[in-house]
Amino acid sequence: MTIQNDLLYSKSHEWIRFTGDNTAQIGLTDFAQDSLGSLVFINLPEEGDALSAGESFGDVESVKAVSDIISPVSGTVAAINTELLDAPEKINEDPYGTWLIEAGDITDKDDLLSAAEYEAFCSEEG
Amino acid sequence: MKLLFEKSVAGRASSILPVCDVPVVDLADNCKRQRPLRLPELSENDISRHYSQLERRAHGVNNGFYPLGSCTMKYNPRVNEAVAALPGFTDIHPLQPAHTVQGALEALSLAEKYLCAITGMDAMTFQPAAGAHGELTGVLLIKKYHEARGDTARVKIIVPDSAHGTNPATAAMAAMSVVNIPSGPDGCVDLDKLRAAVGPDTAGLMLTNPNTLGIFEKDILEITKIVHDAGGLVYYDGANPNAVMGVIRPGDMGFDCVHLNLHKTFSTPHGGGGPGSGAVGCKDFLAPYLPKPHVGVKDDAYCFRGDCPESIGKVKSFYGNFLVVLRALAYITTLGRESVADAAKNAVLNANYMMKRLSECYSVANTGLCMHEFVLTLEKEAKEKHITAMDIAKALLDRGIHPPTMYFPLIVHEALMVEPTETEGKETLDEAADIFIDIYRQAMADPESVHSFPLTTPVGRPDEVAAARNPILRYTFE
């Protein structure tokens, strides 16, 4: 399992890449894609939708199950990665290179983990 | 194997249709098909062989052990089929005048009476076609109850994180929002989390007991009280009454309405996807909202009562899947009051026996006594040796056993959910347990070997991603 040092992480296995003071990209971690298995569908919100920290903004379906994607921040959806709607397997192939949404107008965020903290958290969980 | 369309030979026919003995009516041109239906053309012999061939490629309760957790794949006594096939029940029409179908109406009324007695409810509808449909009907009753009292702020349905996916889906279908509460370490409802979740916006709680881990919610009276004190109602998901039927009643646990999967618990063959029956029972105070029409008695005769001004309306045409209700009635009647309870007790005994035997090598998700089913976890084996629940399930196919439910409940990783049911003898359970254990030992000794199973089935390991993303659901003519 890989973890990237330049990202922040949530306990529900999303990664966050801050691209500005109140903008960020959000994706699923390698641990998440590995646990879920091959992804077959993804539901993403629409641009302009509100994001609420700790609440679901979409879901991914693997051959095993459907899982919510939890937003680590509050704000609005600035962009979605539409390419994924037809090719969710990109998350399996390159989890850190594949963002799901870009959040803008971020007003609040959950307590996020550093790479080292996330690694420790995963080894406890897994 | 070839599809019927591929076996079709132009001009070949089966003379199985009788000569038309009523006047032929000619339709207007704009109502007629422009070209004939492209039906496959085969002899009766070919059709018969085709379906026999399909049957050989399937696995049903008649073929072998079928411990598919939460699905209650019990053996369905043949006498139920004989009852449901009686011409007095099959050769009638739902629009026939009530006085000509008194027997059928009496059967519906009797089934309602018995099933209400088993669940501790006061009234029941047989309209819903299956379990999730029953859930929706039940939640619509709850919604109507709050609306009728002007309590329109109650828009949230609480479901535990171990619930069947149909529970949150049902709440969403009823335009409610879903509040998920995490289970406690014992797999049961966490009372503090429930207390924190209820409030003036709580419409109700959906719960199955025994729960999805096969554990009896011992705090059930406190659970239903917490929800009632907050002004909500409690819905009993009928996934698991096979463990308790005739022994304890949802009505006595504090549930306000229930659904039953008559096709599961009360024995209709259901591996093929239907027809089912998601009967919904409720307490008196919800009865006015039940779907209409409802069987009643007027002037000493059975009738369909349509005078239900507060009803949520129809949820299905006519009276539901009537023949499934008949099978349930036949099942209950042939067993009798005490044997219904014995069936539940034997289901629990069989599950505990099987769990005890399998715990020799498998890890059980929650130790202690189980009810009618239990959940194994291959989490450790998956991590250490890459032996997954999927590998074990596939290996079972080669040994003539239908795999248990896999990867459910979601709160258990690498889950295998085993429900033997009461209709299996000790010999079958022992034989199956030996096979489970043998597969486990083989997998641990040679982890690579299990990834290739099954070897003997008509289909090996299908490409599940392709099947999910690009399902081929119909034949395409060239």
Q: What is the per-residue pLDDT across B81-116, written as a single tens digit (0 to 9) for each?
A: 999 999 999 999 999 999 999 999 999 999 999 999
Look up the pTM and report it.
0.90
Q: How many CB pairs under 8 A join A and B?
A: 21
Residue A1 lies in a domain: no
Query: What CATH number does the domain containing A87 carry?
Result: 2.40.50.100
Which amino acid makes up residue B287?
A: A
Which residues sit opposite A27 in a β-bridge? A15
Q: Please tell me which residue of chain A has the smallest CA distance to B179.
A: A55
Which among B165, B383, B465 has the least Cβ separation from residue A38?
B465
Cβ distance A65 to B383 less than 8 Å, yes or no, reads no
Block residue for tokens 């903004």: A57
Establish if B182 touches chain A: CB-CB under 8 angstroms: no
CA distances B363 to B186, B351, B358, B359, B442, Å, are 15, 15, 8, 6, 16
Query: In the prediction, which pLDDT does A7 show?
Result: 95
Domains (range + CATH), chain B = 79-334 (3.40.640.10), 338-467 (3.90.1150.10)
Residue A43 is assigned to a structural domain of this protein: yes
Where in the sequence is the domain holding A105, given as residue range(s)?
A: 8-125
**Paired tokens of B82:** 């004989």
For residue B329, give both structure tokens: 């009635």
Test A126 with B383 for CB contact under 8 angstroms: yes
Query: Are A40 and B383 a contacting pair at CB < 8 A?
Result: no
- Option in A40, A65, A126 nearest B465 (CB): A40
CA distance A99 to B14: 59
State the total domains in chain A: 1
CB contact under 8 A, A65 and B407: yes
Amino acid residing at B60? G
What is the C-alpha separation between B414 and A35, in angstroms, rounded?
Answer: 10
How close, in Å, is residue B289 to chain A by CA atoms? 34
CA atoms within 13 A on the CB side of A70: 15
> Mind listing the pLDDT tens digit for each residue in A20-76?
989 999 999 999 999 888 999 999 999 999 999 999 999 999 988 888 999 999 999
Gap from A41 CA to chain B (nearest CA, Å): 8
Paired tokens of B236: 């009993």
pLDDT tens per residue, range B266-291: 999 888 777 999 999 999 999 999 99
* CB-side neighbour CA atoms (13 Å) of A78: 16
Which residues from chain A sit within 8 angstroms of residue B165, using beta carbons?
66
Question: Which residue's entry shows tokens 């879903």?
Answer: B178
Which residue of chain A is at minimal alpha-carbon distance from B383?
A126
In a domain, A112, yes or no: yes
Q: Which amino acid is it at B263?
A: H
What stretches of B157-242 show up as alpha helix (H) in DSSP? 166-173, 191-197, 220-229
Residue A3 lies in a domain: no
Residue B20 gets which letter from DSSP? P
Query: Cβ contact (<8 Å) for B465 and A66?
Result: no
The string of pLDDT tens digits covering residues A27-37 is 999 999 998 88
